[in-house]
Amino acid sequence: MGNRKQESMSFREGVDRMVDRATLAIGLDPDLARMIRACNAVLQVKFPVRLEDRVEVFTGWWATHSAHRLPAKGGLRYSPFVDQNEIEALASLMTYKCAVADIPFGGAKGGLVINSSAYTEAELRQITHAFAMELARRDFLHPGTNVPAPDLGTSSREMAWIADTYKTLYPEDLNQDACVTGKPRNRGGIAGRTEATGKGIQYALREFFRHADAVAAAGLTDGLAGKRAVFQGLGNVGYHTAKYLSEQDGVVVTAIIERDGVIVNEEGLNVHDVKQHLAETGGVKGFPGGVYSENGADALEMECDILVPAALESQIHAGNAMRIRAGMIVEAANGPVTYEADQILRDRGVTILPDVFVNAGGVTVSYFEWTRNLSHMRFGRLQRRYDELRGRELIATIEAITGHRVPEEMAQRVSKGASELDLVRSGLDDTMRQAFQEIREVLKAYPAIKDYRTAAYVVAIAKIAQSYYDLGLTASPKPVS
Ligand code: GLU
């Protein structure tokens, strides 16, 4: 990939500008925008770790962008290229994302400068443990204040190590499991968290395609089935999104861009097989089911219905935005389209489903995991068998009244009690649909706003402004003009 072009403004400035644009669009006090944009606290730590044959000093950050709701929530990123500006930008995106998805959390983000592939698993565990200690000692890791989750370069494995560190420090904390989300299932994790962001994107797209006017405005034909999609990145988010859309909705994945290039097949790639090849070889080169080219960045400009950047930020920039030939862009990654590119694409009428809406599935299910941890009980435990009983009674009543037997397969479907996964999926689907409808309401209420990103930011800002108002920090959340 590596297609990050130097823009005239930084990632964080770009996100701030988006806030300004939305605030202006609804005539809110600019002071309010300043309050909302400000990153509340940033902790930088430099800590030594004694590895087997040497001592290394690592640099990491945790940025709490907003504390209007607590805990502040966000992923923890491990990358050799991470820096403070990026972490602050990503933390602010989390604030807006939580507000759009109606998650009662503030926004945060963490980062550690590290090339994970250069360390053994035991070393990574040691480094993660040391980083978590630094955060916890300063109250930047706590179920009530700052709660990390997986992000680029981290997974349930790192979350288990972090939880373990916290428990060692605070064994008496009854809510210790809730200090981090995205944990393994047998360590307090929740069903459906690993694939949650991809599932959420699928639900968001299904909701989008339920609205014929929205689909027509994007210049697309009805229905997800048969739509041609190009994916950038087959990590956790890209993989699950591509897998669900191709296996369950008939989307044809024509290209997958990865670090070493792109693999193309106009008839459709088998996402599962590409992922397996990637796991075995470290790239897409040599995948037998498609044509390989080493120029991945150019493939972003391929003609398609849906372009899904699911890797790093700033992949679509002022330098290539004019050449993007997708009907719509679905921001599976955080910040894949720069502020300048966003303007170019809006002028060109390209529909963008923005990150702060479309990839909110991860933090949504993190919220479910956090509440599950606080309640100390898995969802559905109390009512599952009760629901089953009620279903059976309903079947028996229908049979008694009609004198006909309900076929067993039908009876089973009606009387099935919901599992934790069923409930998580239902809550996630509801969240994505509700968020899209709120965004559409803004578009209806403010005809001058024509794009989903500005509308999503308006949804977020209105909610955050209201909570500042409730705290007495602002005179009125109502538009000033
Ligand atoms: N890293 C994910 C994101 O950027 C999830 C954050 C979370 O679950 O707290 O949205």
364 alpha carbon to ligand 1 midpoint, in Å? 8
Q: List the single range of 272-276, 308-312, 465-469 with lowest mean pLDDT.
A: 465-469
Closest CA to 157 of 105, 191, 122: 122
Q: How far apart are CA 235 and CA 285, in angstroms?
A: 16
- Tell me the mean pLDDT in the region 337-341: 98
Report the pLDDT averaged over residues 201-205: 98
* Predicted pLDDT at 29: 85
Q: Whose CA is nearest to atom 8 of ligand 1?
A: 363
pLDDT on residue 6: 57
Q: Give the pLDDT of residue 88.
A: 98
Looking at the chain, the whole-number percentage of residues with pLDDT higher than 90 is: 93
Q: What atom of ligand 1 comes closest to residue 360's alpha carbon?
A: 10
Determine which residue's CA is closest to atom 2 belonging to ligand 1.
75
Active-site residue, selected from the candidate residues 97, 109, 199, 463: 109
Distance 394 CA to ligand 1 centre (A): 41
Q: Output the CA 362–ligand 1 centroid distance in Å.
A: 5
Looking from the CA of residue 147, the nearest atom of ligand 1 is 9
Q: Which atom of ligand 1 is nearest to the CA of 152?
A: 1
How far does residue 269's CA lie from ligand 1's centre (Å)?
28
pTM of the predicted protein model: 0.95
Mutate to test the pocket of ligand 1, among 95, 100, 197, 431 (most ligand atoms within 8 A of CB): 197
Q: Which residue has a Cα nearest atom 4 of ligand 1?
A: 75
What secondary structure letter does DSSP report for 71?
Answer: S
Kindly list the protein residues whose Cβ atom lies closer than 6 A to any atom of ligand 1: 73-75, 149, 151, 181, 334, 359, 362-363, 366
User: Among the atoms of ligand 1, which is closest to the Cα of residue 148?
Assistant: 9
Whether domain 39-187 has CATH 3.40.50.720: the reply is no
Which ligand 1 atom is at minimum distance from the Cα of 359? Answer: 10
Q: Using alpha carbons only, what angle is made at residue 122 by residues 119 and 125, rounded to the nearest 5 degrees?
A: 90
CA 75 / ligand 1 centre spacing (Å): 4
The average pLDDT across 318-328 equals: 97
Helices (H), 249-360: 271-281, 296-299, 339-347, 355-358
Q: State the closest ligand 1 atom to the C-alpha of 365, by its place in the atom list counted from 1.
A: 8
Spatial separation of the C-alpha atoms in residues 363 and 181, rounded to whole Å: 9
- Summarised one tens digit per residue, pLDDT across range 342-383 is 999 999 999 999 999 999 999 999 999 999 999 999 999 999
Q: Counting Cβ atoms within 10 Å, is residue 119 exposed (0-12), middle (13-18) or buried (19+)?
A: middle
SS3 114: coil
pLDDT (0 to 100) of residue 370: 98
CA 335 to ligand 1 centroid distance, Å: 13
Which pLDDT belongs to residue 478? 57
pLDDT of residue 1: 43
Q: What 3-state DSSP class applies to 383?
A: coil
**Which of 94, 109, 372, 431 for a ligand 1 pocket mutation test, highest count of atoms within 8 Å of Cβ?**
94
How far apart are the CA of 478 and the centre of ligand 1, in A? 30
Over pLDDT 70: what percentage of the chain?
Answer: 97
pLDDT at 67: 83
Contacts of 107 by beta carbon, 8 Å cutoff, 6+ apart: 64, 65, 66, 72, 73, 74, 91, 92, 93, 94, 95, 96, 97, 98
Residue having the nearest C-alpha atom to atom 3 of ligand 1? 75
> In this predicted structure, what is the pLDDT of residue 475?
66
Query: Which one, of 41, 356, 422, 14, lies nearest residue 201 by Cα?
Result: 356
Best residue among 78, 86, 103, 151 to mutate for probing ligand 1's pocket (most ligand atoms within 8 Å of CB) is: 151
Which atom of ligand 1 sits closest to the CA of residue 77? 1
pLDDT of residue 2: 40
Contact 219, 297 (CB under 8 A): no
- Reported as a single tens digit per residue, the pLDDT across 246-255 is 999 999 999 9
| pLDDT tens digit sequence for 91-133 | 999 999 999 999 999 999 999 999 999 999 999 999 999 999 9
Shortest-distance Cα residue to atom 9 of ligand 1: 74
CA-closest residue to ligand 1 atom 7? 363
What 8-state DSSP symbol labels residue 38? Answer: S
Using the mean position of ligand 1's atoms as its centre, give its distance from the Cα of residue 396 in Å.
45
Task: Please report the DSSP string for 178-221 in residue order.
Answer: GGSSS--GGGT--TT-TTHHHHHHHHHHHHHTT-HHHHHHTT--
275 is catalytic: no
Flag whether pLDDT at 7 surpasses 80.
no
The pLDDT assigned to 5 comes to 52
